[in-house]
Amino acid sequence: MDAEEFRRRGMEMVDYVANYLENIEQRPVYPDVEPGYLRSLIPTEAPLEPDNYDDIIKDVDRVIMPGVTHWHSPYFFAYFPAATSYPALLADMLCGAIGCIGFSWSTASEATLVTLLAARCKAVRRVQASNPEKSEAEILSKLVAYTSEQAHCSVERASLIGGAMIKKVPTDNNYAVGGDMFKKMLEEDKAAGLIPFYFCATLGTTASCAFDRITELGPICNKENIWMHIDAAYAGSAFICPEFRPLLNGIEFADSFNFNPHKWLLINFDCSTMWVKKREDLIGAFKMEPLYLKHENQESGKKRFRSLKMWFVFRMYGIQGLQAYIRKHVGLAKEFESLVRADKRFEICAEVIMGLVCFRLKGSNRLNELLLKRITKSREIHLVPCQLSGRFVLRFAICARTTDSRHIQQAWRHITQLTFEILQEPNH
Amino acid sequence: MDAEEFRRRGMEMVDYVANYLENIEQRPVYPDVEPGYLRSLIPTEAPLEPDNYDDIIKDVDRVIMPGVTHWHSPYFFAYFPAATSYPALLADMLCGAIGCIGFSWSTASEATLVTLLAARCKAVRRVQASNPEKSEAEILSKLVAYTSEQAHCSVERASLIGGAMIKKVPTDNNYAVGGDMFKKMLEEDKAAGLIPFYFCATLGTTASCAFDRITELGPICNKENIWMHIDAAYAGSAFICPEFRPLLNGIEFADSFNFNPHKWLLINFDCSTMWVKKREDLIGAFKMEPLYLKHENQESGKKRFRSLKMWFVFRMYGIQGLQAYIRKHVGLAKEFESLVRADKRFEICAEVIMGLVCFRLKGSNRLNELLLKRITKSREIHLVPCQLSGRFVLRFAICARTTDSRHIQQAWRHITQLTFEILQEPNH
């Protein structure tokens, strides 16, 4: 394919993409295929000679699309948003063409891992400074990290990778961690000879969008030399609106902060940003022989040229446009919340602060599991569940850029219709 | 921006991209700006209201392009290739639009880290099974990983992250690790009570494209319960050609294997593939509470939908097209090698097996550093150096898809011209 053919095919592809996104809501949001369906539809080996481009595009519709979960359908309410926007797509085309490799360290979704490792390194050095007789292995075996029992599992995984113990702090009725409970655990662990070194606080948990009380946790961490990392993966985007900034109070105590513009800031996957208070803490933890570093070392920190799409989006939407976008999503979540509250068969399971509504049918977990199973089977909308206080709960997350009031209303009609059917069945 | 405007702007962007790639060789390959140059060219804050799209595109030329290193210029000979092709760009447009998030564990450039952690876990379990009295911390402090002194620094970093000791095995005259030297280190370390658990072999090192002798290393690793990981990041793509397969002999001993199609297989960044012999070794090392895993856990293993661009490239080039591409690059490297060998002032510093030529001026390191400095300053071609046996060496890597014989000839004329000038100078 030469530049001339690329021009022609590129224009066709732009049109294909525009049509796909314009008409995405006609497609069932969730695929009706079994894992492995693709195997029988495609050859077992790559072609020896080039295929025809038109055949490939036909195959996109024939073999790829049937297996796709349409994350940008306005009927997608699962997980959290995977942001997208036209300017971001345009910028991504340019990123791909320039294809220059950014050398950088971090700002990835591995923020938790990177900060935990930096904190581990810092803690070992601090303890060794005052106890030179202690071996590194001995210190490592005493280190303990903390996070909320509601925190994302990546925190647990980071500690597993870093070889550090992790303890989960119980949450209050709002599924948030406060200072009292954390302090209690700390005192016990210190008395047992452990060395607390890291706390990962969450602003906007995955399950229910709860906010740990960092105004209480921060001073404790600072006093005890505990690195406080803030994971605001989803909710972080909302702080572009002044009315949500009070949820950031206490941020001044944090050692590091991460959020994912690819979740809720109209920048398509992947794009994750990290801030760290003391740059040298991070660099110091991973530094190697200077000579080595000079020419090649940066390679393993390679990143795509993602900043270009942020730049396009910021400029094309403006701060006001981004604020309006966040507010619209939060408004749609409130709209859905009102619908749920007005139906006495249902209950809201966690305070609705941002774009996530946790709800369930009053009744058994089995009943709610059944409802979700029917929702998934019908493929009209897509939700995932979570567990709160031992209860099976449905998460309704406002995800797509194009989700509107009518999609919320339609989703609710659909849910209540399935509920009606289930409740009619004998032995439901 | 609505779908209609996206269609129009998308077509403009396709044209911009085609023009950029068609005329890339007119641009100086290396930018003439200071780090931070961007700061004064752009506002300190994002705009409150949307900017005009035309202004943004003008700014791409005004503020972005002057800072770009043109990785796809045929005069780019630094690092290793960052692959690109028109079909991959088209597929990436579609990936972005579908924007569906693949849930997967691994197959990233973190392959070394992931396999080292899996090996660590396996080793701890094995040692504990026969020595139940030993604590995990005790075992961890005895674990030792190995790699070539020529291996990429990411291996060292992985061991740093995993908290395991790493030892570098000296290489032979070809900068490759053989069985004898490794066996000697092993015996000494075992006698000292250490527990060898991981060996990262390289097929195609970064510095000189050397191949560790895995037919010798593999049986040792297998016998000693040492996980053998193979890092073939660059050279792996070449195994699509039968004539390079003998370099893969011994692969049957490997526990895991990684290569980066984004380096040399026409698939633009990023795209890295990993194979592991026993899937359960990997899954077992990172497994957590099943309930947790079920609905949300997969999120931290999220990946872009990269397979689509591999599929487009495989189909549009066919295996024969990809083979021809690899062979062309290797041929260009041989062509450059001949030019160097024909000039008595220069020497070749490592066997030329694939698309990389390591060469230097006979003389001091200082002289070669000066030559590279002049090359960089002139901005006509771009190279990076490496160190081999204490000598400062220039790496000439065939990188761009469009590099041709005339670019090689021109690059060599340029290098010899600068050499001539330097040698004329008093006290060079």
Between the alpha carbon of residue B46 and those of residues A108, A271, A314, B43, B142, the distances in Å are 22, 17, 6, 7, 52
The mean of the pLDDT values for chain B is: 88
User: Where does residue A44 rank: exposed (0-12), middle (13-18), buried (19+ CB within 10 A)?
Assistant: exposed
Are residues B51 and A315, on separate chains, in Cβ contact within 8 Å? yes
Are residues A314 and B46, on separate chains, in Cβ contact within 8 Å? yes
Q: Which of residues 216-255 of B touch A (CB under 8 A)?
A: none
Residue ranges of domains in chain A, CATH in brackets: 103-231+272-304 (3.40.640.10)
Contact B389, B400 (CB under 8 A): no
Confidence of residue B354 (pLDDT cuts 50, 70, 90): very high
Least CB–CB distance from B98: residue in A49, A68, A318: A68
Least CB–CB distance from A100: residue in B69, B206, B386: B69
Say whether residue B23 is in contact with chain A using an 8 A CB cutoff: no
Helix (H, G, I), strand (E, B) or coil at A50: coil
Are residues B17 and A92, on separate chains, in Cβ contact within 8 Å? no
Structure tokens at A157: 């995984």
pLDDT tens for residues B182-193? Answer: 999 999 999 999
pLDDT tens for residues A85-116? Answer: 888 888 888 887 887 665 543 633 478 888 99
Length of chain B: 428
User: Where does residue B48 rank: exposed (0-12), middle (13-18), buried (19+ CB within 10 A)?
Assistant: exposed
pLDDT of residue A167: 96
Are residues B162 and A163, on separate chains, in Cβ contact within 8 Å? yes
Chain B hits for A9, CB-CB cut-off 8 Å, are 86, 90
pLDDT of residue A289: 43
Mean pLDDT is lowest, of A394-398, B264-268, B292-296, for B292-296
CA A164-A167-A170 angle, to 5 degrees, is 165
pLDDT tens for residues A341-390? Answer: 999 999 999 999 999 999 999 999 999 999 999 998 888 888 889 999 99
pLDDT tens for residues A301-313? Answer: 556 667 778 888 8
Dihedral (Cα; A53, A6, B327, B414), 10-degree rounding: 180
pLDDT of residue A304: 64
| Sequence letter at residue B224 | E
Structure tokens at A398: 């406002």
Chain B hits for A4, CB-CB cut-off 8 Å, are 18
pLDDT of residue B181: 94
Say whether residue B72 is in contact with chain A using an 8 A CB cutoff: yes
pLDDT of residue A353: 95
Partners of B395 in beta bridges: B358, B384
Mutate to test the interface with A, among B11, B269, B288 (most CBs of A within 10 A): B269
pLDDT of residue B304: 64
Say whether residue A96 is in contact with chain B using an 8 A CB cutoff: yes
| Closest CA–CA distance from residue A150 to any residue of chain B (Å) | 10
H/E run at residue B276: strand B273-276
Confidence of residue A201 (pLDDT cuts 50, 70, 90): very high
Say whether residue A28 is in contact with chain B using an 8 A CB cutoff: no
Structure tokens at A260: 């994912």
Chain B hits for A106, CB-CB cut-off 8 Å, are none
Confidence of residue A287 (pLDDT cuts 50, 70, 90): low
Contact A139, A124 (CB under 8 A): yes
Rounded to whole angstroms, the Cα distance separating B299 from B279 reads 19
Q: Which of residues 110-149 of B touch A (CB under 8 A)?
A: 117, 135-138, 140-141
**Where do we find the tokens 């150096």?**
B385
Mean pLDDT is lowest, of A9-18, A37-46, B17-26, B357-366, for A37-46
Least CB–CB distance from A295: residue in B15, B19, B386: B386
* Conformation bin of residue B363: beta by default, left when phi > 0, alpha when psi is -120 to 50: left
Partners of B102 in beta bridges: B303
Residue of A nearest to B15 (CA): A7
DSSP one-letter code for A66: G
Structure tokens at A342: 């007005």
pLDDT of residue B302: 57
Confidence of residue B332 (pLDDT cuts 50, 70, 90): very high
| Antiparallel, parallel or unpaired: β B143-148 and B165-169 | parallel
| Closest CA–CA distance from residue A263 to any residue of chain B (Å) | 11
Check whether A299 has a pLDDT greater than 70: no
H/E run at residue A147: strand A143-148
Rounded to whole angstroms, the Cα distance separating A169 from B33 reads 50
Structure tokens at B69: 């290193």
Rounded to whole angstroms, the Cα distance separating A115 from A109 reads 11
Rounded to whole angstroms, the Cα distance separating A301 from A108 reads 10
pLDDT of residue B287: 61
pLDDT of residue A100: 66
Between the alpha carbon of residue A279 and those of residues A227, A274, A425, the distances in Å are 13, 11, 61
Rounded to whole angstroms, the Cα distance separating B207 from B388 reads 8
pLDDT of residue B303: 60
DSSP one-letter code for B99: -
| Sequence letter at residue B424 | Q
H/E run at residue B313: helix B307-341
The upper half-sphere exposure of residue B262, i.e. CA atoms within 13 Å in the direction of its Cβ, equals 24
Tell me the average pLDDT across A217-230.
97
- Residue A320: phi and psi, rounded to 5, are -65, -40
| Closest CA–CA distance from residue A277 to any residue of chain B (Å) | 20
Quote the pTM value: 0.83
| Closest CA–CA distance from residue B26 to any residue of chain A (Å) | 15
Higher-scoring residue by pLDDT: A318, B307? A318
Structure tokens at B99: 């924007």
Mutate to test the interface with B, among A5, A6, A114 (most CBs of B within 10 A): A6
The upper half-sphere exposure of residue B233, i.e. CA atoms within 13 Å in the direction of its Cβ, equals 25
